[in-house]
Structure 1
Amino acid sequence: MMNQKEQRLGWFQRIEQMHPYETLLYLGMFGSGLIFLFLTVAFLASGVNQLEGYNRHIPFSFLASTFLLVLSGYYATKMRLYYQEERLDKLQSALFTTLILGAVFTLLQFLGWKELSLMGIDFKGIPSGSFLYVLSGIHIFHLLGAMIFALILLAQLNRNQKDEVKSLMLVVNPFEKMRIRLFTVYWRFMDAIWLILFLLFVISF
């Protein structure tokens, strides 16, 4: 059985073997996680029960967008399977579906803000209401980065599908495999963050 020193060395060796992109992504996810953690603590400290009553309810757009984001996470997970099976057409389709669902999710978030405004919840009102905008807005900002990367991947897949040699190189290239894996990891991370935020929003109402 490995002792603690050997375990620490094992972790350091894994970090050293990571590709720089992989290291940056995990560091970014860690930093983002801290941001959401601090804001969530501030949200809870602001008094979430202030939103109770007054005939207010969780915006329907938030509910619909949550379902779509979970569905997009399913398609993002399928991407890795399609890549391993060398089914580039299915991979491209899953990536496109993930991107579209992400775009609709973003649109629904803006509609959710409008619903909040109609209920009288805005930046000028109670602090906990302001945090609904801040937390969901920062989440959208993080998700947009993944959507831009998805567009780049989609354009590359579309070009490579027209060339059999490039398609073969794409399938056997470890770098491409890593990029797809990192995309799916980050997208599911954003899924998890939003599910936690949505649960807090539901509790606050």
Structure 2
Amino acid sequence: MNPKVFTMWLFIVSIVMLFAAFTSAYLVRKAEGNWTEFELPNLFWISTIVLAFSSLTMHFAYLAAKKDQFNVLKTSISITFVLGLLFLVMQFYAWGQLVERNVYFVGNPSGSFVYVFSGLHGLHLVSGLVVLLVALVSAFRLKINANALTQIKICSTYWHFLDALWIYLFLFLVFNN
């Protein structure tokens, strides 16, 4: 196995373990009582759709790289990057919606967990944006092509993972809030 691919998988496994621990802690703490119920921000729903769409554009980038369609590759990575940024902006504004509902980071742990889940995911998404930028630079330098797919595979796998992680977290919060 390529050492870079192996490193990416180790990183993904560590992220899975982190969020498994947090979701487990959420369930244990909720069972103790003193839990405030509230509606999730509407922007969480919209941002989830935006992030899912970014997975589609990332897939287009991967397919374009396999076919040496360099313009499609660069455009698709660029769109994925913009959608990732849009997701982060929407998450920030979703925090504003939480504050409008009197849900704060400090206070009842039900709100704290939402901030931690979305904030930590956002931090990991920033790392995904860095990976996208590196891939975009490589695409402009024609270093990603049908004969050199490792970088776009790593980028694509990590991005799809981050999307799937958010969908898991979002559904977890929807069904356990």
The TM-score, its normalising length taken from structure 1, stands at 0.80
Unpaired stretches in structure 2, ≥5 consecutive residues: none
TM-superposition CA deviations, 1:174-205 (whole Å, max 9, x none) = 3xx10100111111111111011101221244
For residue 24 of structure 1, what is the amino acid of its counterpart?
Answer: T
Displacement of 1:170 after TM fit?
A: 4.2
- Tell me, in whole angstroms, the C-alpha distance in 2 between the residues paired with 1:178 and 1:92: 16
Residue matched to 1:171: 145
Displacement of 1:173 after TM fit?
A: 4.1
Residue matched to 2:28: 45
TM-superposition CA deviations, 1:14-56 (whole Å, max 9, x none) = xxxx11111110000000100000001111222188343xxx3
- Tell me, in whole angstroms, the C-alpha distance in 1 between the residues paired with 2:14 and 2:144: 31
Closer, same or farther: CA 153–170 of 1 in aligned 2, 3 Å: closer
Among 60, 80, 98, which residue is 2:62 paired with?
80
SS of residue matched to 2:25: helix
The TM-score, its normalising length taken from structure 2, stands at 0.92
Contact 1:51–1:204 under 8 Å retained in 2: no
Displacement of 1:171 after TM fit?
A: 2.2
Displacement of 1:157 after TM fit?
A: 2.3
Residue matched to 1:19: 2
Task: Say whether 1:101 aligns with 2:86.
Answer: no
Task: Say whether 1:185 aligns with 2:157.
Answer: yes
- Tell me, in whole angstroms, the C-alpha distance in 1 between the residues paired with 2:125 and 2:145: 26
SS of residue matched to 2:145: helix
- Tell me, in whole angstroms, the C-alpha distance in 2 between the residues paired with 1:61 and 1:25: 30
For residue 187 of structure 1, what is the amino acid of its counterpart?
Answer: W
For residue 150 of structure 1, what is the amino acid of its counterpart?
Answer: L
For residue 18 of structure 2, what is the amino acid of its counterpart?
Answer: I
Displacement of 1:154 after TM fit?
A: 1.5
How many residue pairs were aligned?
175
For residue 79 of structure 1, what is the amino acid of its counterpart?
Answer: A
Task: Say whether 1:118 aligns with 2:92.
Answer: no
Residue matched to 1:154: 136
Displacement of 1:66 after TM fit?
A: 0.2
- Tell me, in whole angstroms, the C-alpha distance in 1 between the residues paired with 2:100 and 2:144: 49
Task: Say whether 1:145 aligns with 2:127.
Answer: yes
- Tell me, in whole angstroms, the C-alpha distance in 1 between the residues paired with 2:163 and 2:40: 19
Task: Say whether 1:199 aligns with 2:171.
Answer: yes
- Tell me, in whole angstroms, the C-alpha distance in 2 between the residues paired with 1:136 and 1:173: 37
Closer, same or farther: CA 172–74 of 1 in aligned 2, 3 Å: closer
For residue 42 of structure 1, what is the amino acid of its counterpart?
Answer: A
Identity %: 30
For residue 82 of structure 2, what is the amino acid of its counterpart?
Answer: I
